[in-house]
Amino acid sequence: MPSLEVLSKDTQRISVKLKGVPLQYANALRRICLNGVPVFAIDTVDIIENSSVMSDEGIAHRLGLIPIKTDLKRFAEPSKCACQSKTGCSNCRVMLVIDSGNTDSTRIVTSAEMSSEDETIKPVSDKIPIVQIAPGQKVKLEAYARLGRGTDHAKWNSANISVLTHTDKPEEYILTVETTGALAPEQIVVSAIDELEQRLEEFKGMIAELKA
């Protein structure tokens, strides 16, 4: 019987031993852990004011790459949300705001200045630099985060690394996953298992339809 044993775990990384699992399924699980589990990332940015030396596009790009803490129980992916709206709703989108205000000295605007309308959905760190502003310069914007998957864009990768190594025994592998911080590492593995199961059921359904 297939089994899973946790070998080590901390806030950033988890290593599990997979027993009785064929290589193709173990590798599919590895790939889903990397880019198949939905997490929040900033997808749309409305620049209200930007007098810094960095372009609007440059700031938007940096914001998109900031890992965002994710709650999969309370929010839905846009494609699965009941609103079915292009702009999203409170169940599938979260707004984060930056207003640097006026400054008298050169300083760096960091992720600590990102104010979220939902306290659970926020940057994983408050020390991530976004843009440097000089005296007289200002940045004010609204950013909208939504759930997505790394298969669409790397900014939605749930893991930094997802590595599968073979042991000396047949159909036994060690899966090591390091989170971006959006989800706890054990959440990534559990969600990936659920996702793999769902995909296999959908595939079985497609095969059944072909045979019918």
Strands (E), the chain: 3-9, 13-19, 39-50, 93-99, 107-110, 115-116, 129-133, 139-148, 159-166, 172-179
Q: Is 156 helix (H, G, I), strand (E, B) or coil?
A: helix
Single-letter code of the amino acid located at 149: R
pLDDT given at position 211: 80
pLDDT for residue 174: 98
Whole-number pLDDT of residue 96: 98
Is the pTM here over 0.85, yes or no? Answer: yes
The predicted-structure confidence for 54-110, as pLDDT tens digits, reads as follows 999 999 999 999 999 999 999 999 999 999 988 899 999 999 999 999 899 999 999
Distance of CA 79 to the CA centre of its chain: 16
Q: What integer pLDDT is reported at residue 21 of this predicted model?
A: 95
Per-residue pLDDT, 112: 97
**What is the pLDDT, as a whole number, of residue 209?**
86
Domains of the chain: 3-37+158-205 (3.30.1360.10), 39-150 (2.170.120.12)
Q: What is the pLDDT of residue 86?
A: 83
Task: Give residue 87's pLDDT.
Answer: 85
CB atoms within 10 A of CB 10: 10
Q: Find how far residue 141's CA is from the centre of its chain.
A: 22
State the DSSP code for 101: -
Weakly modelled stretches of the chain, pLDDT under 70: 212
**CA 125 vs CA 12, 139, 164: distances in Å:** 13, 20, 28
The pLDDT value recorded for residue 54 is: 97
Place of tokens 């999203």: 88
